A and B are shown apart, each in its own frame.
Chain A
Amino acid sequence: EVQVLESGGGLVQPGGSLRLSCAASGFTFSSYAMSWVRQAPGKGLEWVSGISGSGGTTHYADSVRGRFIISRDNSKNTLYLQMNSLRAEDTAVYHCAKPTSGFTSQDYWGQGTLVTVSS
């Protein structure tokens, strides 16, 4: 059974940093790109970042480029999102997601981890 489980969320002050993790199981992790998608409270979905199966190709939304870094450790079946220079507008539930193929069409989602940026 495919599972993805996020962790690492919490309360952080504006300007601070946080590192999210996503532990994956039930599929050949290195064969799939992975993405982070976030949802601010009461708002819609926003794609944040994606990374190829090898980790050699990364993509970012304009809203986080230069502040967030996506990475993966295929030996640990784990996806990461390093979030720096956090802003209040980054407050959201962050979901880890696996695509059917390629980078888009996410067929498995974690329940998400809440990041709150506030002083």
Chain B
Amino acid sequence: QSALTQPASVSGSPGQSITISCTGTTNDVGGYNYVSWYQQHPDKAPKLVIYDVNYRPSGVSSRFSGSKSGNTASLTISGLQAEDEADYYCSSYTNDNTLEVFGGGTKLTVL
């Protein structure tokens, strides 16, 4: 199965908003509303920040939001803060023989 496609890196200044894209196919992102986004700081376990396209788990800042259009999902972080600097991964349910597919990850740099 092919990984979902994410940009390798994005950057923004404190206070700004950034958007990370995640492109799949009709077999995964485009076909189901089961897209998740994870934040991972160095040497830490991933943390779920968005699930089912646009739902935030309890305790996750409202600065994080998700959306989807066709085969592309997006994570937007508004009011960028230094602590947001991390790697971000998207994932989606997939209808092939596997179950879940991840994107290659995007490194967010807060300038």
Give A contacts to B, CB under 8 Å: 35, 37, 44-47, 50, 59-62, 65, 95, 100, 102-107, 109-112
Q: What is the CA–CA distance of A16 and B41 in the complex, to the nearest angstrom?
A: 32
Known A45-B46, A103-B99, A104-B93; 7 more pairs at CB < 8 Å: A45-B105, A47-B91, A47-B100, A47-B101, A62-B97, A102-B34, A102-B93
Which residue of B36, B87, B97 is within 8 Å of A105 (Cβ)?
A: B36
Give B27-77 interface residues, CB cut-off 8 Å to A. 34, 36, 38, 40, 45-48, 51-52, 57
Q: Is the CB of B104 within 8 A of A103?
A: no
Min Cβ gap A68→B in Å is: 12
Q: Is the CB of A47 within 8 A of B102?
A: yes
Closest 6 pairs (CB-CB, A-B)? A105-B51, A109-B45, A59-B99, A44-B105, A47-B100, A105-B36
Interface residue? B3 (CB, 8 A)? yes
Q: Is the CB of A45 within 8 A of B89?
A: yes
Chain B, interface residues (CB within 8 Å), range: 20 to 34
Q: What is the CA–CA distance of A44 and B88 in the complex, to the nearest angstrom?
A: 10
Q: Is the CB of B93 within 8 A of A106?
A: no
Q: Is the CB of A110 within 8 A of B100?
A: no
Q: What is the CA–CA distance of A46 and B100 in the complex, to the nearest angstrom?
A: 9
Return the CB mask of B74-111 against A: 1 if under 8 Å, else 0.
00000000000001010111000111111111000000
Q: Is the CB of B36 within 8 A of A106?
A: yes
Q: What is the CA–CA distance of A116 and B97 in the complex, to the nearest angstrom?
A: 27
Q: What is the CA–CA distance of A110 and B36 in the complex, to the nearest angstrom?
A: 18
Min Cβ gap B30→A in Å is: 15
Closest to B89 in A: A45
Which residue of B36, B45, B104 is within 8 Å of A104 (Cβ)?
A: B36
> 5 A-B pairs, CB-CB below 8 angstroms?
A35-B100, A37-B102, A44-B103, A47-B98, A60-B97
Tell me which residues across on chain A come within 8 A of B87, comparing CB atoms: 44
Q: What is the CA–CA distance of A107 and B56 in the complex, to the nearest angstrom?
A: 11
